[in-house]
Amino acid sequence: MTPRWTTAVLDTDQPGGWAVARSPEGFLFDDNGALFPREWLKRQDLPILAEHGIGHLDGEPVYLLELRAPGDVPGCGWKGLRAFMLEGDHTLFKVLGYAAQIGTWAREHRFCGNCGQAMTQVPRERAMYCQPCDLRSYPRISPSMIVLVTRGDEVLLARSPRFVAGVYSTLAGFAEPGESAEDCLIREVREEVQIEVKNIQYLGSQCWPFPHSMMLGFHAEYAGGEIVCQEDEIEDAQWFNVHELPPLPASRSIARYLIDVYVARRLGHAEPVLPG
Ligand SMILES: NC(=O)c1ccc[n+]([C@@H]2O[C@H](COP(=O)([O-])OP(=O)(O)OC[C@H]3O[C@@H](n4cnc5c(N)ncnc54)[C@H](O)[C@@H]3O)[C@@H](O)[C@H]2O)c1
Ligand SMILES: [Mg+2]
Ligand SMILES: [Zn+2]
């Protein structure tokens, strides 16, 4: 089956297509969603910082208008990317997630990190360019490990102070320079709960555009230690029986997928599919 959404670097000099508008308050939306006829959207009095051609949805070109500030468009409001993930259709979330990553990266690379001069968008390539330095900057992706640690019928779940009240999730953390995925996973589990793990198994990955993570999901078995929570990062961590789980993360997250897969395997149920 042809995917409904594919990314592409489109020429912004071409007219027509759809556009999404993004401001520091999120994406513009109305009753029909977050995609607007591009020419119409550009006639609204919006403070456009940059325009990017980002891909095709059902064969139609899609552009991003990255704004300096949220403007007033009659009948429309502004909504954050997380809300689109929780409520909206998955394809729209993919479009907006990609738009958010491109918009953030391009906005943060308007000036060369080497010489400080203005950079320009490279035609037909997703890159910002500094001519004096001959330096290209590409979109930044931050690999993060996420792992469900298990001990028989028990799973290790933790709470960050940033989580919604009551929710427990798998452990996660960003890779540091010099680390393999496994090194990072072992370090993060040690740092966050002082637990040792073994039999690390890769399960799948997920783009997590908040703001630019690439989640690599693993299962690992408990190998030793007692839970000691990392100060400031981990508010609470516990072993939960698969029959008595606490409130869990959103169903589209890879965190939830890792938990659901393990529970399904333990109980002999059909395994869930990882949302793309
Ligand atoms: N999709 C999911 O199911 C899911 C679940 C949990 C976490 N996550 C994501 O995983 C990522 C990592 O998780 P975490 O917040 O526990 O990370 P973490 O344990 O490494 O700690 C977060 C801290 O790392 C530092 N940091 C921020 N950005 C960084 C970067 N790019 N590289 C290195 N260090 C950085 C900051 O000091 C931040 O407070 C986050 O983006 C989080 O949103 C996704
Ligand atoms: Mg963490
Ligand atoms: Zn430069």
Q: What is the pLDDT of residue 212?
A: 96
pLDDT digits over 104-115, tens only?
A: 999 999 999 999
Averaged pLDDT of the chain: 96
Task: Give the C-alpha separation, 217 to 231, whole Å.
Answer: 24
Cβ pair 7, 98 in contact under 8 A: yes
Query: pLDDT of 6-53, one tens digit each?
Result: 999 999 999 999 999 999 999 999 999 999 999 999 999 999 999 999
Atom 32 in ligand 1: which residue has the minimum CA distance?
Answer: 174
For the CA atoms of 84, 73, 48, 87, what is the dihedral angle to 10 degrees?
Answer: 0
**With 80 as the cut, is the pLDDT of residue 184 above it?**
yes
Above pLDDT 90, what percent of the chain? 95
Beta bridge partners of 19: 36, 63
Q: What distances in angstroms separate CA 47 from CA 27, 222, 237, one per listed residue?
A: 14, 53, 45
Encoding tokens for residue 15?
A: 């007219």
Average pLDDT value for residue range 193-221? 97
Residue 130 has pLDDT above 80, yes or no: yes
- Which ligand lies nearest the alpha carbon of 209? 1
- Residue of the nearest CA to atom 6 in ligand 1? 172
> CA-to-CA distance for 108 and 191, rounded, in angstroms?
30
> Residue 3: which pLDDT band, with cuts at 50, 70 and 90?
confident
Q: Is the CB of 249 under 6 A from ligand 1?
A: yes
What does the pLDDT average to over 192-205? 98
- Cβ of 191 below 6 Å from ligand 1: no
For residue 206, name the pLDDT band (cuts at 50, 70, 90).
very high
* Ligand 2 centre distance from Cα of residue 182 (Å): 15
Tokens 């680390």: give the residue. 179
Distance CA 234, CA 227 (A): 11
Quote the pTM value: 0.94
8 Å CB contact between 34 and 27: yes
| Structure confidence at residue 230 as a pLDDT band (50, 70, 90) | very high
Q: CB burial class (10 A; 0-12, 13-18, 19+) of residue 189? A: buried
In testing the pocket of ligand 1, which one of 82, 86, 93, 144 has its CB within 8 Å of the most ligand atoms? Answer: 144
pLDDT over threshold 80, residue 2: no
Distances (CA, A) of 202 to 147, 157, 178, 217: 9, 18, 20, 6
**What is the value of ipTM here, to two decimals?**
0.96
260 alpha carbon – ligand 2 mean position (Å): 20
* Any atom of ligand 1 within 6 Å of the Cβ of 254: yes
Provide the residue type at 169 as one letter: S
Task: Give me the pLDDT at residue 1, please.
Answer: 67
Q: Ligand 1 pocket, 131 CB below 6 A?
A: no
On the 0-12 / 13-18 / 19+ scale of CB atoms within 10 A, 208 is buried
pLDDT digits (tens, 9 = 90+) for 62-116: 999 999 999 999 999 999 999 999 886 889 999 999 999 999 999 999 999 999 9
pLDDT computed for residue 201 by the predictor: 98
Contact status, residue 95 vs residue 81, Cβ threshold 8 Å: no
Is residue 169 within 6 Å of ligand 1 at its C-beta?
yes
